[in-house]
Amino acid sequence: MNTTIPPLKAGELVALAAPARRVSPEEMAPAIATLQSWGLRVRVPEGLYADEGQLAGSDKHRAALLQGQLDDPEVRAILCCRGGYGTVRIIDRLDFTRFAQHPKWIVGYSDVTVLHSHIHATLGLPTLHATMPINFPDEGENIDLQMLRATLFGERMPALEWDATAMDRPGVAEGELVGGNLSILYSLLGSRSQIDTRGKILLIEDLDEYLYHVDRMMQALRRAGMLEGLNGLIVGHLSDMHDNAVPFGRTAEQIVLEAVERCDFPVAFGAPVGHCVGANCAVRLGEKHRLECSNSKKSRIFAP
């Protein structure tokens, strides 16, 4: 199955969900106000602000709240409040039967990669890798919000362009865009939520990792066959990387290139996607894209 999700219209209902780390009413207030200013009705499920340690309530509680929004055909998009950790603990509790009958946008990044990956692997439906309510500014709209709003409402988007880097491997590729957070993709290896990357363009990004761990994850993806069959690779923000007292000896970008050195497909670094507020542009995962990569001009992706 591969389908297009209809664009939102003013007056339609969107819902907040907290499948991972807990959130507060104060943290969600700017997002609720912004979504309402777009003409949308916003559902804040009862129990959204529960907490159990770092999590937004127990596994059973978080799964039940998300299940209610997945099942409701009136809900046209589900915006995951924040990432952190926890979605993998509830993914096997969720039933996507009604969701498949009435698809809607699942919006988020970071830990929400669990949902993106599971939906692509099991249903073949598109999802939206984009900023989350925890990142909405108190006032105004940054580029992240502008692109989220435009995508949700079905506006024709120009190509997403960014400056090329000297490390890029130039070329052109077409294929379904999949992926998300590298750590989450690594954690899903061997499960039914693992995506099939053959013939596709893979997007990866990450935050706050040790360089040797980035290498471990990339080598795991390579050994699992997730890299050699790619049509292209897009690398978003690799932010706030750490090293040991004895340096690992490679940057995160060099680690990525080493993992795909035997592969022949374009690799574009520096995409404005991932853990960087104000530079986390919305991209539709699970839909066909064209990647044009150059190490002297601009790189870009767009729906052909």
List active site positions.
110, 205, 275
For the stretch 238-255, what's the b/e string if a residue is b when 16 or more beta carbons lie within 10 angstroms of its beta carbon?
A: beebeeeeeebebebbeb
For strands 127-129 and 283-285, give the pairing. antiparallel
For strands 232-239 and 75-80, give the pairing. unpaired
CA 231, distance to chain mean position in Å, is 19
For strands 288-293 and 171-181, give the pairing. antiparallel
Instruction: Tell me the H-state helices in 57-181.
Output: 59-71, 97-101, 113-122, 143-152
Q: Are 243 and 211 in contact (CB under 8 A)?
A: yes
Q: Which residues contact 261 (CB under 8 A, 6 or more apart)?
A: none
